[in-house]
Amino acid sequence: MMTVFAVFLWPTMADATESTAHVTDMLQQSVVIKGTVLDELGEPMIGVTVKGQGTKDATITDMDGNFTLQTNAKKLELSYVGYQLTEAAAQNGIIIRMEPDQTTLNDVVVVGYGTMRKRDLTGAISSVKQEEIRRAPVLNAMEGLQGKIAGLDITRSSGQAGTSPEVLLRGNRSLNGDCSPLYVIDGIAGGSISNLNPNDIESIEVLKDASSTAIYGSAGANGVIIITTRQGVKGKTQVDFNAYMGINAWPSFPGTLQGDDWITFLDERYYQSKGYRAEGTHGTAEYMNNLVGDAGLNFTTGTREAMGLTYDDDGNAIYNPSAAKWVNWKDEIIQTGVQQNYNVSVRGGSDKLQSYMSAGYQQEKGLYRKDQAQLMTFRAGGNYEVNKVVTLGFQSNVSYHNNNSRPSRLSKSLTQVPLGTVWNEDGTLNIHPIYDNQTYINIMADDVENVYERNVKRINLSIVPFVELRPLKGLSLKSMASVGYSNSRDGTWSGLNTYYKLSGSQTNKREASYNTGMSWSVGWQNVLSYNFMIGEGHTFTLTGITEYGKSNSERGNMSNENMNYDIQKWYNLQDGKNPVVLTDYTDKTTMAYAGRLHYSYLSRYLFTATVRHDGSSVLYKTKRWNTFPSVAVAWRVSDEKFMNFAKKWLYDLKLRVGYGVTGNANISPYSSLTMVESSQHNLSLGGGQVSNYVLTQAVANYDLTWEKSYNWNFGIDFNLLNNRIDGSIELYQTDTKGVLYKRTLPTAFGLYHAKAPYTKMSNIARIKNQGIEVTINTRNIQTKNFSWNSTLTFMTNNEQLKEINLGNNVTVNELVSLGLYLNNPTKTLYGYKKLGIWQTEEAEQAICFNNKPGDVKLLVNGSEGRGLTWDPNYTYTMSETDPDTGARIQKTHTGAYYEDILSTGERKYYTGNSPYSVSSATDRVILGHTTPDWSLGFQNQFIWRDFDLSIQAFMRWGQIINGASNSLLGVHNTTNIPECFEYWTETNPTNAYPRVYGQSTQAREAMGFVDGSYFKIKNITLGYNVPSKWLGKLNMTRLRLYGTITNPFILAKEHDLLKGMDPESNCSDQFPLFRTLVFGVNLSF
């Protein structure tokens, strides 16, 4: 028995002996290597990965750049983000210097359903890494990219808390709603960047041309933004804490007139409305009564007291301006807001398991009371390498939004009487600032508790598990499932004492609404990729994709009015007298098959071809599928032998050309079908009521199909002067055909509910975009203690609506009435054009338009659109009032305008007796468009020792905005104006603003349209990195303190008309943009 046991045991013991000998031999060969790693300036580098070549032996450098590694390798490999991979001999006491990878050509860039080296790209793709995203503190990551990526137009049009910037890539390509690019977050399309904390983002790639976006088919027509979040990494666990807090203040908005400036304004207003000055002398009761009475304000005892008028014992009025109760409503409405952002993350792992987890909290308090937004986020993810073939992993994200908002009354502050007592002595709001004037309402009435409330809460959840198989070298299959869930509630309460109800503008009743929404989405994506080489230098990457998606949403909208109590808000809708309940449900299914071939010969000759076959349930069953191909080639000219003469100054030169087709079916489900809805009138049957259903307003269109964008892109990538200058130039053209549009059908088709015409979604238009993009990165100065890097971006886009087919008999005027202008951008502004202000010496011309000096001078085209001609010799008489006697007299005038009427052959004169009447049919013109002719971004980063300074600036030039507040001047019932309005007077005849009274509707409309070109310094950030030698005792690897100011400087082209306003927000008089001052910390250990 023992003999048998020994026979079986002997081989095992022999193997063990052999293995022990081998291990002993290995240990005898292993040595301990100590060394130091320095950067290009000779400074120690922290966190560099040092690995024994061909082994799993690895470590990282400490605070002083030192490392200790036990290995039997002959060589060491060193890697660090932003630096070249470095090899060194495995020698004890070695000092290794790493060089920065300034060309970034070997950077890995995320492309659709995969990754690729930057040097091998054939399409127009811009990439931004984490350090650039986190350089300046922002609540939404896209704001941090403003002006940094050519072709990407980012603006923030509202200062309301929680609002996201508007993003447009290479122009508008659709007439049907949103033209925003597609967001792809960790491989899953359709996510929202507003659900992410910027600190969780690792990189952002912007795919701009069709050869890059066609892989996304129907979803990629407006461009694609790929967001990769931070993942777990091998090595020591790293904890990051990022926080900042600051204030929102100093909004770009003017104050209003007060004191003697207001009195002077009222005096001029009186003169312009009456033709003579107010009776009485300045400061007397008679004088003040005339002024405020003409402005529509009752001259009550409270009004007199508020104006600083008192009476002596003899009854004489005494004017004491210092005793007046002046109110600057802008300062009363606006508060100093606060924003804060906190994020903590933990990541790390072993060779087998890597994980990442983060939690974030954001809060923004806006400029108004009851205007605030909160965002809480939680992310978790991990990868587990089961073996060399199988890897499992997941990504998950939870976000919770809680926003409070209220109507803006800031526009009302511009015309509000600047008098009264805003607050009671007990700190409550005084609803009637002038105690004996009940018609004068405090414009902040909505701020009172339980008067007005709106609260929106939303929770979003996404989970993405995946499995990746690597059965052969170069072959991988990644299968991802995705589940998304969103639930929202929007509650609004409007009580009896809101501003508009107290002022009589709205019916005085309690109102409430309660709207809910819930959506689910599921998806399954499979990506098969095979990378292989044939011969020497011929590299192929084949990618196959299947993708399935299904989503549904359901909404419930409930409202009621005339409730009995205030405190229950929207939680007791059944208490009202007129309930309304609406619900709906939609679902959508998509399926896609795609493939891509990428070929590279020595990274010199490059070729990429993709094709995607897309299906969507939003279209009719015979139109649901379509195919979207693309092809691109690139040639690295700099690698050719005939370019050897330029090697000293030309590091890289690559030419690219690409063509592709993308689609868009961004319409509501069932848009191709005719739906039914409940009728307003039920049928009576057998004494009971039977529900009656009728067709909805939208009729069916079974031929409805995809919008298709045909895109050409020509690109040049370059790197010059020993990596000091690099960049790219892009020229592109996108022709979008079959543009979707909801057209109004002729009344011959009938009327919906006997009131409105029916509508039909159709493919009827064609939009063309073409433009140029330039990006230049420069490393201006690089020394041991100082560096200065710059980035310049430029873009111009020419967008035109080339065709629209609404039927054979549609006129140009009918297109104009729909806001459609052929050969112009989709966001075109059409209206009356201001030429200036009529001056005193132009009185004879002004009277021909029923104007007088000080009125707005408009461009007129005449009744037949050919303009008017001035005849200086024409004379006529007209009856007028003698300003001295008041008697009617006949006065002779010299000069008149005329036009020759071709239809009748007559010459028609326009005089003071028969003035020209401005017509909306002939005198409105195309004024411009809301998108810029060109944009320029300019970024600078300076580093001196441990200090860093970054300045982000950009320009938008050539766009027209509608500055609504400019149209306030000249309104008949205006009681105040912004303090920056330098209105026209006989002694101050300006050419920017008209006189303060009597402007026509057309004139005031023209005043609102302003050239919105501007230059802005978006932010300035100054940071200090605490030296590593001070951090060692705290076990920290990084501690950076910084301060940032946002929107510190704005220069508008029309600065005379935009004083105190920010053109980026279209000079919003609702929620203006503001300046922000924040202080923050970045901490790692």
User: Cα angle at 462 between 460 and 467, to 5 degrees?
Assistant: 175
pLDDT band at 798 (very low <50, low <70, confident <90, very high): very high
Which of 301, 326, 351 lies at the terminal end of a domain, its last residue?
326
Q: pLDDT at residue 10 above 50?
A: no
Q: What average pLDDT score do residues 489-515 get?
A: 92
pLDDT band at 28 (very low <50, low <70, confident <90, very high): very low
pLDDT above 90 coverage of the chain, percent? 53
- Shared-domain flag, residues 191 and 119: yes
Q: What average pLDDT score do residues 886-894 get?
A: 89
Q: How far apart are CA 727 and CA 717, in angstroms?
A: 6
pLDDT at 16: 39
pLDDT at 971: 61
- Shared-domain flag, residues 50 and 149: no
Q: How far apart are CA 810 and CA 800, in angstroms?
A: 19
Q: pLDDT at residue 1 above 80?
A: no
Contact 411, 977 (CB under 8 A): no
- Shared-domain flag, residues 195 and 157: yes
- Shared-domain flag, residues 231 and 165: yes
Residue 129 placed within a domain? yes
Q: Left if phi > 0, otherwise alpha if psi is -120 to 50, otherwise beta: which for 319? A: beta
Q: How far apart are CA 742 and CA 744, in angstroms?
A: 7
pLDDT at 18: 39
The CATH number that applies at residue 222 is: 2.170.130.10
DSSP labels for 706-746?
A: -EEEEEEEEEEEEEETTTTEEEEEEEEEEEEEEEEEEEEPP
Of the listed ranges 36-45, 85-94, 676-685, the least confidently predicted one is 676-685
With 0-12 / 13-18 / 19 or more C-beta atoms within 10 angstroms meaning exposed / middle / buried, residue 484 is buried
DSSP labels for 145-211?
A: GTTTSTTEEEE----STTPPPEEEESS---SSS--PPEEEETTEET--GGGS-GGGEEEEEEE-SHH
Greater confidence (733 vs 411) lies with: 733
pLDDT band at 315 (very low <50, low <70, confident <90, very high): confident
pLDDT at 965: 65
Greater confidence (236 vs 474) lies with: 474
Which of 97, 132, 155 lies at the terminal end of a domain, its last residue?
97
- Shared-domain flag, residues 205 and 235: yes
Greater confidence (978 vs 754) lies with: 978
Q: pLDDT at residue 528 above 80?
A: yes
Query: Into how many domains does the chain fold?
Result: 3
Q: Which helix (H) or strand (E) holds 652?
A: strand 650-664
The CATH number that applies at residue 65 is: 2.60.40.1120
Residue 207 placed within a domain? yes
Q: Left if phi > 0, otherwise alpha if psi is -120 to 50, otherwise beta: which for 562? A: left
Determine how β-strand 94-97 pairs with β-strand 31-38. parallel
pLDDT at 696: 79
Q: Which helix (H) or strand (E) holds 23?
A: helix 2-29
Joined tokens for residue 83: 């630096």
pLDDT band at 25 (very low <50, low <70, confident <90, very high): very low
Residue 35 placed within a domain? yes
Beta-bridge mates of residue 67: 35
Convert the pLDDT of each residue in 552-597 to its tens digit: 999 999 999 998 888 888 998 888 888 999 988 999 999 999 999 9
- Shared-domain flag, residues 170 and 290: no
Q: pLDDT at residue 966 above 70?
A: no
- Shared-domain flag, residues 203 and 239: yes
Contact 586, 547 (CB under 8 A): no
pLDDT at 647: 86
- Shared-domain flag, residues 117 and 91: no
Of the listed ranges 262-271, 838-847, 962-971, the least confidently predicted one is 962-971
Name residues whose C-beta falls within 8 Å of residue 981's C-beta, 6 or more positions apart in sequence.
969, 993
User: Residue 201's CB: how many other CB atoms inside 10 A?
Assistant: 21
Q: Which domain holds residue 270?
A: 259-326
Q: pLDDT at residue 601 above 70?
A: yes
- Shared-domain flag, residues 267 and 216: no
Residue 43 placed within a domain? yes
Convert the pLDDT of each residue in 926-940 to its tens digit: 999 999 999 999 999
Q: How far apart are CA 568 and CA 454, in angstroms?
A: 13
Which of 326, 360, 377 lies at the terminal end of a domain, its last residue?
326
Residue 528 placed within a domain? no
pLDDT at 774: 98
- Shared-domain flag, residues 127 and 227: yes
Name residues whose C-beta falls within 8 Å of residue 670's C-beta, 6 or more positions apart in sequence.
586, 618
Q: What average pLDDT score do residues 199-218 get?
A: 90
- Shared-domain flag, residues 211 and 283: no
Q: What average pLDDT score do residues 476-487 get?
A: 96
pTM of the model: 0.86
User: Cα angle at 432 between 427 and 433, to 5 degrees?
Assistant: 70
Q: Is 855 helix (H, G, I), strand (E, B) or coil?
A: coil
With 0-12 / 13-18 / 19 or more C-beta atoms within 10 angstroms meaning exposed / middle / buried, residue 11 is exposed
Name residues whose C-beta falls within 8 Å of residue 80's C-beta, 6 or more positions apart in sequence.
45, 47, 48, 49, 98
With 0-12 / 13-18 / 19 or more C-beta atoms within 10 angstroms meaning exposed / middle / buried, residue 512 is buried
pLDDT averaged over the chain?
Answer: 88
Instruction: Tell me, letter by letter, the H, E, C secondary structure of 384-453.
Output: EECCCCEEEEEEEEEEEEEEECCCCCHHHHCCCCCECCCECCCCCECCCCCCCCCCCCCCCHHHCCCCEE
Residue 708 placed within a domain? no
Q: What average pLDDT score do residues 309-335 get?
A: 84
pLDDT at 663: 87
Contact 454, 492 (CB under 8 A): yes
DSSP labels for 337-351?
A: EEEEEEEEEEEEE-S
Q: What average pLDDT score do residues 824-846 get?
A: 94
Residue with token string 């130039």: 729
pLDDT at 939: 96
Q: Which helix (H) or strand (E) holds 539?
A: strand 538-561
Residue 176 placed within a domain? yes
pLDDT band at 105 (very low <50, low <70, confident <90, very high): low
The single-letter code of the amino acid at 136 is A
pLDDT at 101: 66
pLDDT band at 970 (very low <50, low <70, confident <90, very high): low
pLDDT above 70 coverage of the chain, percent? 93
The single-letter code of the amino acid at 921 is A
Q: pLDDT at residue 858 above 60?
A: yes
Residue 81 placed within a domain? yes
- Shared-domain flag, residues 174 and 194: yes
